[in-house]
Structure 1
Amino acid sequence: MQDLMLPKPLADLAPNTFEYETLPKVKATGFREYDARWLFEKEINLLGIQSLGAGLGTLIHELGKRPDIVVGHDFRSYSASIKQALIVGLMGAGVRVHDIGLAVSPMAYFAQFDLDVPCVAMVTASHNENGWTGVKMGVDAPLTFGPDEMGRLKEIVLSGQTKAREGGGYRYVEGVRERYIADLVKDVKIARPLKVIAACGNGTAGAFAPEALSRLGVEVIPMDDELDHTFPKYNPNPEDMKMLHAMRDAVLTHKADLALGFDGDGDRCGVVDNRGEEIFADKIGVMLARDLSSRHDNAVFVVDVKSTGLFTADPVLQKQGATTHYWKTGHSYIKRHTTDLNAMAGFEKSGHFFFREPYGRGYDDGLVAAIAILKMLDNNPEKSLAELREDLPTTYQSPTMSPHCDDDKKYGIVEKIVTHFEGQKELIGQKVSDVNTVNGVRVTVEDGTWGLVRASSNKPELVVVVESPVSEENRNKMFAEIEQVMAGYPEIGAFNQKL
């Protein structure tokens, strides 16, 4: 008879009490669409993390997967203790744990292949601010969980269905970091002399990126590569304007060819060119798609709904026969759709890049993306990165803008906003030409100007992006119309940044 492992979790336990130290605390909203994230101590305690591990182990058995799992953790002050609690739960559920220690998320995905281990659980809050924790999970490399798996995991954990099993075990695996870096740089040598800023934001990537890029033969100037879990200068997030401005300043100071910025767990890459201009990751994706499709016939790409309309409008991609599919935002969604369509690569505006063979294994890796960008420059030795950017048709983009909205309210609010825009025949004085509701709502008018509203999958926020191929004025008009609609919902709070 299999025994239940832990009491059924509770959502509301006060810290510094007997109950908090003896019962699991798990807030239901921490189970996101494709990973899990909580404010540690406020929304989940260590026994709650142990319940999560037990639930994941139970699900692995339920899915009929071999019960072996790679586990790693990012560089936050509490991540090692989170990982240990997770491991206790996994082992109790009969899973053999292969602990790779401190890691970036793509190193954990690489370890699935390197160690021939089917499952992965990476303890990371990614680019979220300090105080957050979470786990990225998968049982079928290179894929990670989507809504179906996360929904079942949530059900197992919150209903107390975790089951104790025999056969759990633990081993610490050495040498994975060296093999990961060696795998990144094998058969790659950049002939063009390049000076590269490697911006790490004092996050985990500082232990990986400068060394990996140096092995390619380029000159690397490390920036904020000292590991410091207080993140003393800014949160390591290459969509954050503070980090991007620091990258810009470093490029101009050192007269570098570009800056490459990495997020807290190293699976995303942001780019600043030689003139100090940020190139949003979706436009980097267009540039990479141009480069790849020039050497591969009928190339197929997948991009998220936040991405520029150039993927379908760019005349170079059209001439080269490239095809692009817009899909749901989220690393698990794009990763899975890229695999399902046998696409060459997938791109997200947030800086996730997914390269499949022969360039990668299909998972998101900021360093694989960085290497692809350097190879693109090597393939175009007569042009700077700024000149390659200027070769693209001009569009006027916004950054990703995120107003606060509670996790338990945001999806309902977005449903109402979707309904509103589905009923609109005209916006900014033009006819509506397309309404895409695959993920929130992306509404496009006749001249190609579009705006997006969706719920964030990993924070209590909404996401707003606008773009116009015509003018800043039309871009700003689209944002103003969206903002006016959002103003009708008091549940929506202040934006983190605006135009």
Structure 2
Amino acid sequence: MSDLSQIVKAYDVRGIVPDQWDERAAEALGAAFAQLLRESPTGDASADRAADRVETVVVAHDMRDSSPGLAAAFGAGARSEGLSVIEAGLGSTDMLYYASGVLGLPGAMFTASHNPAKYNGIKMCRVGARPIGQDSGLAEIRDRAQAILDGGTDRPADRPRGDSRRRDLLADYAAHLRGLVDLSGIRPLKVVVDAGNGMGGYTVPAVLGDAVLPALPLTIVPLYFELDGSFPNHEANPLDPANLVDLQRAVREHGADLGLAFDGDADRCFAVDERGEPVSPSAITALVAVRELAKHPGSTVIHNLITSRAVPEIVAEHGGRPVRSRVGHSFIKAEMARTDAVFGGEHSAHYYFRDFWFADTGMLAAMHLLAALGEQDRPLSELAEKYERYVASGEINSTVPDQAAKMSEVRRAYPDAEADELDGLTLRFPDGAWINLRASNTEPLLRLNVEAPTAERMTALRDEVLGRVRA
């Protein structure tokens, strides 16, 4: 019997198949999703009184071996509650968000993103790609599905079942993105793309290549485009520097202008410059923000509290309004909607666009980067340099049994630092350096990020704080 409390996380469903969940659990989750949508179509109690009934959901899945069966079972559960299902088949997570936005339907994406092959999961959203997290319906879906699995609910046998139909959305998704960023007039660029055997191998040829649309002035050098949920070459997690090694080597060997790496469900994109050196997600956030502010002067840009302080500085310098957010896509998306922000970026390479239903899409961020590079003659290393003002440690994890006590101890060690607790503990120092300590939602870990004006200051502060955390 599946214990859904072990796999329903803060923002999505994630667990080992079949040890923690299987197709029976997926079917129960599909039925619970449908029940929630039938009773609360929008998630807004006042709006729901006048909301149209949800009749259809769209479901897509990644390339993992377990994904087609889980997606089909979820669809069967939704149909048992009377909803029709559009089966989009293979897709990236941002393609599912596109489908939800353009079709005006709730959706479910089956993927475990960058996790190993034995994992799978579900990312669910309401109409218009609005996220469903613990506080916006996911906990209720968990409880309803658990009751179904435990046999504690009566489900009428004569309830009309919904139907299902297939719909290929890849070409429409590619055309939509091409309409948001025009790459047809840029200078020719050679681009190495590492898809990590994930869904980038499916979407990149359609969006950046000539698989379904006219060719762009891009020469794509593909790495690991074969869809393979066992990830035979390396983990599809570009946040780990070890998984960028092949891309960095290929960029140098091919004399490419840049390299792009996508995670397993292709909603995140990382970049390396012509030397094979990583371009930080904070620098890409600032670069894309400047481009969006040029089109929409005075707009709000969201950044989470782990991004470089260069981001709010650059946003303000270009006439925008920077707004700081907690880490996590549900918080970013909520702030995007609340402030009508034009763009949002995270240190983890999630990028959110108002033109994309406030949802995250690594592909659109990559297109902005290609456009910025191709519209001028400098190499990417020079272009990115003006957005890289400070030195960051990257995220460092430490096993700590009592995270709250340790954060209090660190706070007491720096009484003169400015502190806030928007997300964990952030300390700001007079010289511009800062640290953030956040507890993991699922493990006994503290996550440390440090940034400072110089490498020497960053290293010293990092080591000093780690010494306290790990003492």
Q: Could you tell me which of 314, 318, 328 is aligned with 2:326?
A: 328
Residue 441 of structure 1 is matched in structure 2 by: 425
Which residue pairs with 1:366 in the alignment? Answer: 362
Partner of 1:432: 417
The Cα of 1:113 is off from its aligned counterpart by 3.2
| Maintained 8 Å contact 2:410/2:469 | no
Q: Which secondary structure does the structure 1 equivalent of 2:259 belong to?
A: strand
Counterpart of 1:208 in 2: which secondary structure?
helix
Aligned mate of 2:469, from 486, 489, 497: 486
Structure 2, unmatched stretches of 5+, are: 42-52, 210-214
Distance 1:478 1:283, change over 3 A: same
- Quick one: structure 1 residues 404 and 414, their matched pair in 2 at CA, closer, same or farther if it must change by over 3 Å? closer
Q: Contact 2:104 / 2:127 at 8 angstroms: preserved in 1?
A: no
Q: CA deviation digits over 1:275-331, x for unaligned, max 9?
A: 2110121221112223333443213110112211112334xx433222211212112
Q: CA deviation at 1:100?
A: 0.5
Pair 1:454–1:135, CA change in 2 (3 A): same
* Residue equivalent to 1:306: 306
Cα displacement (A) at 1:174: 2.8
Q: 1:47 aligns with which of 2, 24, 32?
A: 24
Question: Are the aligned partners of 1:421 and 1:443 in contact in 2 as well (CA < 8 Å)?
Answer: no
- Match status 1:389 vs 2:378: no
Aligned residues with identical type, % of pairs: 26
Check whether the contact 1:99–1:171 (CA below 8 A) recurs between aligned residues: yes
Cα distance 1:81–1:252, how it changes in 2: closer, same or farther (>3 A)?
Answer: same
Structure 1 counterpart SS, 2:192 = strand
Matched, 1:164 2:160: no
TM alignment of 1:15-34, pairs within 5 A: 24-34=1-11
Alignment of 1:64-463 (within 5 A): 64=41, 66-114=54-102, 116-148=103-135, 149-160=137-148, 164=155, 166-186=159-179, 188=182, 189-214=184-209, 215-314=215-314, 317-357=315-355, 360-379=356-375, 381-403=376-398, 413-426=402-415, 431-433=416-418, 435-456=419-440, 460=443, 462=445
Unaligned runs of 5+ in 1: 1-23, 489-499
1:96, 1:167 within 8 Å by CA — same for their partners in 2?
A: no
Please name the residue that 2:45 is paired with: none
Match of 2:302, SS state, is strand
Task: Please report the TM-score for the alignment, with normalisation by the length of structure 2.
Answer: 0.88
The whole-number CA distance in structure 2 between the counterparts of 1:463 and 1:120 is 33
TM-score of the pair, normalised by structure 1: 0.84
C-alpha displacement of 1:90: 1.6
Cα 1:55–1:338 shift into 2, 3 Å: same
Structure 1: how far apart are the matches of 2:35 and 2:427?
42
1:35 and 2:30 are equivalent in the alignment: no
Any idea what SS the aligned residue of 2:426 has?
strand
Query: How far apart in 2 are the matches of 1:281 and 1:472?
Result: 18
SS of equivalent residue, structure 2 residue 251: helix
The alpha carbon displacement at 1:404 in A equals 5.9
Cα distance in 2, alignment partners of residues 453 and 164 from structure 1: 46
Query: In the aligned structure 2, how far is the partner of 1:463 from the partner of 1:155?
Result: 29
Instruction: Check 1:478–1:163 CA distance in 2 against 1; reply closer, same or farther (3 A cut).
Output: farther
Read off the aligned partner of 1:144 and give its amino acid letter.
P
The 8 Å contact of residues 198 and 261 in structure 1, kept in 2 or not, is answered as: yes
Distance 1:225 1:312, change over 3 A: same
Superposed CA offset, 1:44-84 (max 9, x none): 23322222222212211221451411101111111111112
Distance in 2 (alpha carbons) for counterparts of 1:144 and 1:373: 26
AA partner of residue 391 (structure 2): Y
Who is 1:8 aligned against?
none
CA contact (8 A) 1:272 1:279 kept: yes
Task: Give the AA of the match of 1:454.
Answer: R
CA shift at 1:403, angstroms?
4.4
Distance 1:244 1:208 in 2: 20
Q: 1:451 Cα shift?
A: 1.9
